[in-house]
């Protein structure tokens, strides 16, 4: 059986001392490097593979310092503090330039934890939306970036503008930058923490929706809070997730967006935020 494209991207070869070597995959190519979500997943995967890991991820923040060039890279995942039930990680992803000089292309911090069963609640109930089977798969536009083909997305609201005419999507600021969609890996793949981290980044830049102007953009920082336990991910299995994202503040070259990912049963699996550079 051919490995899943997502597993291909996560393939890391241990070099010892928390260092791993991986390589970029054409299947995940975005405009000037791989899809940021898959790169965030690779950073997390180095932690998942680390022999000293304690517990499961609860928090991941990835800062994108530069586009990843095609080829090999090194990820270093260091557990800098291990407590009784939590562990703190610092991750760096670097690449050598033509002269063999290594440059940092990504920094990340993460926390893993052993969870205990406690009182739990969800203050962001899943919005009422049509089920994925009632919606057609949203076809990526012809000639689009490759990684979009790695997901089955079924858009509910807030599409990429069909006309780049500078008209805001909605006069209501609360809706102007809101998108909702069902998403799963294509082909289907059982959900794990790495896949959840990647899906936290599937939303196209809110500023495109907000302005209907295709300004150059790039995520500079992505945070994912994991609210799911490993058994809940297994239960979610290959089901679609409902993703929602909206912009918050757009100011002088950077905007932020807030997002949520629920499984079809309505469990809020992850909340996510990102800060995105935009050009004009």
Give the interface with its own copies as residue ranges (CB under 8 A): 58-59, 61, 63, 65-66, 80-81, 83, 86, 88, 90, 92, 103-105, 107-109, 111, 113, 115-125, 173-174, 176-177, 210-211, 220-221, 223, 225, 227-229, 246-254, 256, 258, 260, 268, 271, 273, 275, 277-280
Q: Coil, helix or strand for 133?
A: helix
Q: CB nearer to its own copies: give 153 or 178.
A: 178
Q: Which is nearer to its own copies, 138 or 177 (CB)?
A: 177
In angstroms, give the least distance from the CB of 183 to its own copies. Answer: 19
Taking the complex as a whole, the smallest distance from the CB of residue 178 to its own copies amounts, in Å, to 9
What is the nearest approach in angstroms of its own copies to the Cβ of residue 203?
Answer: 14
Smallest separation, CB 256 to its own copies (Å): 5
* Contact present, 11 and 22 (Cβ < 8 Å): yes
Contact call for residues 228 and 238 (beta carbons, < 8 A): no
Intra-chain end-to-end CA distance of the chain, in Å:
46
Residues 6+ apart with CB under 8 A from 81: 87, 88
By beta-carbon proximity to its own copies, the closer residue of 135 and 258 is 258
Nearer to its own copies, 184 or 210 (CB): 210
Closer residue to its own copies, CB minimum distance, 2 or 120 = 120
For the bound state, the minimum distance from the C-beta of residue 179 to its own copies, rounded and expressed in Å, comes to: 13
Range 54-88 burial, b when 16+ CB lie within 10 A, else e = eebbbbbbbbbeeebbeeebbbbbbbeeeeeeebb
Contact by Cβ (8 Å): 234, 175: no
Nearest to 10 by CA among 1, 35, 30: 35
The residue among 147 and 192 lying less far from its own copies, judged by its C-beta, is 192
Instruction: State in angstroms the smallest separation of the CB of 236 from its own copies.
Output: 14
Structure token digits, residue 4: 């899943």
């Amino acid at each position: 059986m051919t490995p899943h494209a997502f597993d291909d991207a996560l393939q890391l070869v241990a070099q010892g001392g928390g260092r791993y070597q991986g390589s970029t995959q054409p299947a995940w190519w975005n405009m000037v490097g791989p899809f940021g979500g898959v790169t965030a997943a690779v950073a997390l995967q180095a932690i998942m593979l680390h022999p000293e890991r304690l517990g499961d991820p609860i928090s991941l923040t990835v800062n994108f310092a530069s586009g990843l060039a095609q080829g090999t890279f090194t990820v270093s995942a260091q557990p800098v503090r291990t407590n009784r039930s939590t562990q703190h990680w610092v991750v760096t992803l670097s690449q050598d330039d033509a002269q063999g000089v290594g440059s940092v292309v990504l920094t990340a911090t993460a926390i893993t934890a052993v969870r205990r069963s406690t009182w739990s609640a969800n203050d962001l109930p899943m919005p009422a939306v049509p089920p994925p089977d009632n919606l057609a798969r949203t076809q990526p536009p012809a000639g689009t970036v490759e990684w979009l083909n790695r997901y089955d997305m079924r858009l509910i609201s807030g599409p990429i503008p069909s006309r780049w005419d500078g008209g805001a999507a909605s006069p209501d600021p609360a809706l102007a930058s809101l998108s909702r969609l069902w998403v799963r890996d294509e082909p289907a793949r059982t959900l794990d923490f790495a896949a959840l981290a990647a899906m936290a980044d599937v939303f196209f830049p809110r500023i495109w929706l907000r302005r209907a102007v295709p300004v150059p953009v790039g995520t500079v920082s992505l945070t994912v809070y994991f609210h799911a336990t490993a058994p809940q991910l297994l239960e979610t299995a290959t089901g679609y997730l409902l993703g929602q994202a909206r912009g918050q503040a757009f100011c002088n070259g950077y905007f932020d967006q807030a997002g949520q990912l629920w499984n079809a049963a309505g469990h809020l699996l992850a909340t996510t935020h990102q800060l995105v550079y935009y050009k004009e």
